[in-house]
Structure 1
Amino acid sequence: MFLNTLSPADGSRKERRRVGRGQGSGLGKMGGRGHKGQKSRSGGFHKVGFEGGQMPIQRRLPKVGFSSHMAKFSAEVRLDALNVFAGTEIDVALLKAHDLVPANTKKVKIVKSGDLTASVTLSGINVTAGAKEAILAAGGTIKE
């Protein structure tokens, strides 16, 4: 096998469209562009979203809402998910290792959902007010 003998598999690459090579080609005369108009001319294209001078839809519609770019880096963990870590110190790396939060998570917040029966120690993790009461009631501690 030599480099000059290599070629793609048959049918894997389309032949390029040969425009303006006679009527028999199916793309002669007008070259598939139709009759007249801006799109039939060379260089006759306009920017995406252009509506011929009419106010474009992306400018007509109201802008509503807000999407935080930090949302993809933060995650919530339910209180009852911490029961498996009885007596251990929990941080973000431990939660990632047990697949309780995605790998790209930077901030974690514990929310009060379910019951906590084990005593745990949290470090570097945010906690809601209700979850804080439940953790302290179960004998756990929270390090800031």
Structure 2
Amino acid sequence: MRLNDAVPKEGSQKRPRRVGRGIAAGQGASCGFGMRGQKSRSGRPTRPGFEGGQMPLYRRLPKLKHFPLVNRKTYTVINVSDLASLAANSEVTLSSLIEAGIVTSDDGPLKVLGDGEIGVPLQVKAAAFTSAARAKIEAAKGTCELPEA
């Protein structure tokens, strides 16, 4: 038999520490919590994240800059001025713009921005339009269509 073979019987439990029962027990009077202060009081622990009244880290962080939006929508953006070179009454979609070489990468659904001027009527099908872009396309006798979703 070795010392590491001497283990408690299966299902046995260790006695709980009885504090505050006199000096002989080793946990008398202050029960191992010291003399005074927040950590010696009853109901002692503070909540997780508490920093003594200072604004805690989990409340400071979102106020700082450069925190990205979670699940942010990304669009393939194009300006109205880029559509001016297309033929009149043509249908404009993301795939047709990629084929024409006006847009080089598919970064998500198409969004039309209102920078520039347009003089030809176009049938534009995009996921989103700015109000200026919609006004300029419709002023040129074109149409703005949102996909059915």
TM-score (norm: length of structure 2): 0.47
When Rg is computed on C-alpha atoms for both structures, the one with the higher figure is 2
Instruction: Please give the TM-score of this superposition, normalised by the length of structure 1.
Output: 0.49
